Amino acid sequence: MLLETLIRDFPYYVFWKDRELVYQGGNNQFLQAIGAPSIHEILNKTDYDLPWKATADQYRDTDLKILAGEKIINQREVRYYEGGLQKMTLINKMPLKDEKGIIVGIVGVHQEMFVLDNNQHDVFISELKNEYELTKRQESCLLYLVKGMSYKQIAKALQLSPKTVEHYLTIIRKKMSCSSRSELIQKALQLSSIKNSLLK
């Protein structure tokens, strides 16, 4: 009972899913963030049923890695919440195991860092151009990537083909000396427009 109370009132967003990636629970902070009046609003639902359904494919890919035994510790991501609100969030995810050590699902603990406004987006874009000499298209691709969108979603937003988006992001990785998508996102999040906001 004490543990349940601690989780329920924990100041970070806490949730857990089963092996089918269906939500089985969440604490008060998580429910408030997604605009759910009660736990019944998320039970037996997936990411495709919640406010961030546009980026559900990406979250599912990550969750499948967690089910395979991987962990995510203190990873910064832009997350979407009720009303289209965008928040820089510190992500932690790990396998949920039973008493025999068998993975039966995943548990996530997210910490809200700050809300992104339009001005911060503009500063972010300006820095990308000045520091890495990215073209306007490349800047847009990277910003959408940081927001959590997949290649297909970026292509649709920019009216490009997924292959063209992949080509742009490959060029960006070379310009920013990154070997992977996750490294590229992490490096983009170190730009001063983002870093200064973390210190406020």
How far the first Cα of the chain sits from its last, in Å, is 36
Domain ranges in the chain are 2-115, 118-198
Q: How would you label 3-13 residue by residue, b for 16+ Cβ within 10 Å and e otherwise?
A: eeeebeeeeeb
121: Cα separation from own chain's centroid = 16
Residue 67 · residue 103 · CB < 8 Å: yes
pTM for this predicted structure: 0.57
How far apart are alpha carbons 195 and 19 in whole angstroms? 35
Element (H, E) at 188: helix 181-188
The DSSP 8-state label assigned to residue 21 in this structure reads: -
pLDDT digits (tens, 9 = 90+) for 62-88: 899 999 999 988 877 766 665 666 677
For 118-198, CATH number out of 1.10.10.10, 1.10.3720.10, 1.10.287.3240, 1.10.760.10 equals 1.10.10.10
Residues 126, 192, 185, CA angle at the centre, nearest 5°? 80
Return left, alpha or beta for 179; rule: phi > 0 is left, psi -120 to 50 is alpha, else beta. Answer: alpha
* Tens-digit pLDDT string for the chain (200 aa): 556 666 777 878 999 999 999 999 999 988 887 888 888 989 999 999 987 887 788 889 889 999 999 998 887 776 666 566 667 778 899 999 999 999 999 999 988 766 656 666 666 666 666 677 778 888 888 888 887 788 899 999 999 999 999 999 999 888 888 888 777 887 777 666 545 544 44
Domain 2-115 bears CATH identifier 3.30.450.20: yes
The DSSP 8-state label assigned to residue 50 in this structure reads: S
CA dihedral (94, 75, 46, 165) positive or negative: negative
> Per the structure block, which two tokens stand in for 122?
């503009």
Residues in a beta bridge with 23: 17
| Nearest C-alpha neighbor of 105 from the set 95, 113, 115 | 95
